[in-house]
Amino acid sequence: MQTLPLALTIAGSEATGGAGAQADLRTFQEHGVFGCVALTCIVSFDPQDGWNHRFVPVEAGVIADQLEVITSAYGPEQLDVVKLGMLGTPATITTVAGVLRERRFGHVVLDPVLICKGQEPGAALDTDNALQEHVLPLATFVTPNHFEALALSGMDAIGTVEELTEAARRIHERSGAAVLAKGGVHLRSNCDEAVDVYVDADRTEVLSAPRLGDGAQVAGAGCTLAAAVAARLARGETPFDAARAAKEFVSRGIEARLSSSAPYDVVWQGA
Ligand code: PXL
């Protein structure tokens, strides 16, 4: 018998394996963390249509069933960390938020996946609003990218490290969560550096790493980052240590990325 750290991901399937639950599980495994999944949706890119998202939600009752059995099998003393990836619809969001309010987790790591290409814009807006209203207040750790940081902070532009820091502070203030805001390719000054900003109640830190990927589009970095944070929290690290090490884990995964006939490379967590 083993005493293992456990983590749950509530996320979608991305069939090619680059993002979503597949990336989360590989990341958990690489950290020695036993993973379970409640699947929220199935995404199959359409190679006949510019690799746009084909998106099919899992029925809310089936999501509830998965969460019921997972939380029945593993009590709070054993499973205390959940990572939230693509939720995708208001119905999914209310179902998940209901379970999270009932069965409290010590750590709720939210990758606030707001926009899914190929979803109808009106439906996407309802989903964004539901996420902000029902899930953000339950999060203990949030990992917004550029667009998500704009939406969650209410700022008009994020083009400098100072603006990214302000966005992260605002998101921390409205949610109470630790925030790791990702600069991506959107910061004007730092072409050679991938800059992220970490903010919690006690500290504000700028995290910088050499930019990798040679300009290639690399999918799965956001999922991998949040999953690595969740895995490290499950192993007992502090949120800041988890953030710093998760960023390094993603850098290594981008360096070792996998290419295919798809128009994007994918992170390899096993580097
Ligand atoms: O990277 C965001 C993301 C998360 N989850 C699923 C996805 C994607 C992007 O395609 O398909 C299931």
Residue 1 within any structural domain of the chain: no
Please check the confidence at residue 123 and state whether its pLDDT lies above 80.
no
Mean pLDDT of the chain: 94
Report how far residue 228's alpha carbon sits from residue 230's, in angstroms, rounded to the nearest whole number: 5
Q: What is the pLDDT of residues 249-260, one digit of tens each?
A: 999 999 999 999
Residue 230 within a domain? yes
Identify the weakest region by mean pLDDT among 40-49, 68-77, 109-118, 124-133: 109-118
HSE toward the beta carbon, residue 173, CA cutoff 13 A: 8
Coil, strand or helix: which one is 47? Answer: coil
Number of H helices, E strands in the chain: 8, 11
Q: For residue 56, report the distance from its CA to the centre of ligand 1, in Å.
A: 12
Ligand 1 mean position to 145 CA, how many Å? 13
Is residue 271 in a domain?
no
**Residue 43 beta carbon below 6 angstroms from any ligand 1 atom:** yes
What's the pLDDT score for residue 198? 98
Half-sphere exposure of 185 (CA within 13 A, CB side): 7
In eight-state DSSP terms, residue 257 is P
For residue 103, how far is its CA from the centre of ligand 1 (angstroms)? 25
* Residue (of 196, 135, 140, 131) closest to 168 by Cα position: 196
Which of 10, 16, 43, 119 has most ligand 1 atoms within 8 Å of CB, for mutation?
A: 43
The per-residue pLDDT for range 133-159, each reduced to its tens digit, is 999 999 999 999 999 999 999 999 999
Count of structural domains, the chain:
1
Whole-Å CA distances, 271 to 33, 71, 197, 218: 17, 32, 25, 15
Q: Select from 119, 117, 252, 254 the least CA-distant residue to 185.
A: 254
> Does 172 fall in a domain?
yes
Beta carbon of 222 within 6 Å of any ligand 1 atom: yes
Q: Any idea which of 88-97, 180-189, 197-206 has the lowest mean pLDDT? A: 180-189
Task: Check pocket membership of 266 for ligand 1, CB cut-off 6 A.
Answer: no
Is residue 19 in contact with ligand 1, taking CB distance under 6 Å? yes
Q: Which residues form the domain of 18?
A: 6-266
Give every strand in the sheet of 34-46, ordered side by side: 52-57, 34-46, 6-14, 81-84, 107-110, 141-142, 178-182, 193-199, 204-210
CATH code for the domain of 142: 3.40.1190.20
